[in-house]
Copies of this chain bind each other. A is one copy, B any other.
Amino acid sequence: MITADTTLGEVTEEGLLRSIFPFFTPQPGLLVGPGDDAAVVASSGAVIATTDTMVRGRDWLDEWSSAADVGVKLLTQNLADVAAMGGVGTSVLVTLVADPATPVAWARAFARSVGEGAADAGVAVAGGDLSSAPAGVLLVSITALGDLQGRPAVLRSGARPGDVVAVCGTLGRSAAGLLLLQRGEGAMGQAGAGRREWAGSRDGGMRKLCLAHHRAPVAPLAAGPAAAAAGATAMLDVSDGLLRDGSRIAAASGVRLDLSNAALAPDIETLATAVGEGAARECVLAGGEEHSLLATFPAARLPDSWRAIGTVSDGTGITLDGEPQQPRGWDHFRQEPDTDD
């Protein structure tokens, strides 16, 4: 019998799987689900595929994020990559590599969260893998598959001079949420009390939104295929910061992105109520893990729910009101913020 204290080392793999599979809602496109050598997923002719891993201690801290938060975040960052190609997610494979001392309850809460998030997005949990890890290690990985529905993929390389640069979704909230956690606000243990306290204050609502977006981000997934249908020329999701990710579109397309301070001012102003003006500006320009969509469109074609933040010109790099910007962001193995080399 599984109790609150049961660890993964105390149950069989098959027992664990039996307790997890009910969290996964079948979807029409899943032709063969978990339990065989491999899954089989329907496809309209071109499959989008991407994979992302989260490691405890590097990508989340148990003090700040619940198992359910980790499930949402991992799913979102994978499905945002599918959306950024202009595709619709169809299925995910989920991997858990865990110290056998990990509570079964953590694994079940994570699986439930992934299952519910996937079902909300119409995505099937098609399979996965379980492995034991050295003491203290816990990591989770998802591979997401998607479908282009007959359209060509929207790459990073298609931006053309004269295009509009536009964003769908928030900017800087995840980074602001992390900053609040680093300042000691909103840790798991005190979250309930903290949240109640903020609710009465002017800036409490925004702090809550930032903390929520850092822990369990929501991405505008449907806006990806809609942008593709509307003629987006280049697209990606903001995972490493607006300046760094914008520079990637510029480099891949052989163009310059000119962003406008005035267009970003509302984002900074809103965020400033939570973290202050200076931090808000840095979060909007360089904050990662946001998973909003950044795209370029022919001028006449900006779809609903996108807002223009700049234009595409001949040249290289990225500017803000004409000032060249140095992309800032994260390098995985160096374990600290780093500039592009």
Q: Could you mark each residue 79-101 of chain A with 1 if its beta carbon is under 8 Å from any beta carbon of chain B, else 0? A: 01110110100010101011010
Q: Are B49 and A41 in contact (CB under 8 A)?
A: yes
Q: Name, among A143, A334, A341, the residue most crowded by chain B CB atoms within 10 Å (CB to CB).
A: A143
Residues of B within 8 A of A13 (CB): 331-333
Q: Which residues of A contact B (CB under 8 A)?
A: 8-9, 11-16, 31-32, 35-55, 57-59, 80-82, 84-85, 87, 91, 93, 95, 97-98, 100, 126-134, 136-137, 139, 141, 143-146, 148, 153, 155-156, 235-237, 252, 331-335, 338, 340-341
| Count of chain copies | 2
Return chain B residues, CB-CB under 8 Å to A145.
47, 49, 145
Bound form: Cα–Cα A119–B83 in Å: 29
12 contacts between A and B (CB under 8 A): A9-B334, A37-B81, A37-B84, A38-B85, A41-B47, A44-B45, A49-B127, A51-B143, A58-B132, A59-B131, A131-B332, A132-B333
List residues of chain B with CB within 8 A of the CB of A15.
Answer: 341
Taking CB atoms, residues of chain B closer than 8 Å to A12 are 331, 333-334, 338, 341
Q: State whether A127 touches B334 (Cβ < 8 A).
A: no
CB atoms of A38 and B46 under 8 A apart: no
A237 to B156, CA, bound (A): 39
Q: State A97–B59 Cα separation when bound (angstroms).
A: 12
Chain B residues with Cβ below 8 Å from A80 are 37
Given contacts A14-B340, A51-B128, contact A46 B41 (CB under 8 A): yes
Beyond A31-B153, A36-B155, whether A51 also contacts B341 by CB under 8 A is no
A51 touches B9 (CB 8 A): no
How many Å lie between the Cα of A115 and that of B30 in the bound state? 29
Given contacts A46-B31, A95-B141, A333-B16, contact A38 B130 (CB under 8 A): no
Inter-chain CA distance A332–B13, complex, in Å, is 6
Q: How far is the CB of A308 from chain B (nearest CB, A)?
A: 21
Q: Is the CB of A332 within 8 A of B132?
A: yes
Given contacts A36-B156, A45-B43, A46-B41, whether A51 and B95 have CB atoms under 8 Å apart is yes
Alpha-carbon distance between A156 and B97 when the two chains are bound, in angstroms: 26
A133 CB, min distance to chain B CBs, angstroms: 6
A43: contacting residue among B32, B43, B141, CB under 8 A:
B43
How distant is the Cα of A42 from the Cα of B151 in the complex, in angstroms? Answer: 13
Q: How far is the CA of A81 from the CA of B42 in the complex (A)?
A: 18
Distance in angstroms between the alpha carbons of A80 and B38 in the assembled complex? 10
Is the beta-carbon distance between B129 and A141 smaller than 8 angstroms? yes
A318 to B137, CA, bound (A): 38
Please indicate the chain B residues that have their CB under 8 angstroms from the CB of A49 in the complex. Answer: 38-41, 91, 93, 126-127, 143, 145
Check A100–B40 contact: CB distance below 8 A: no
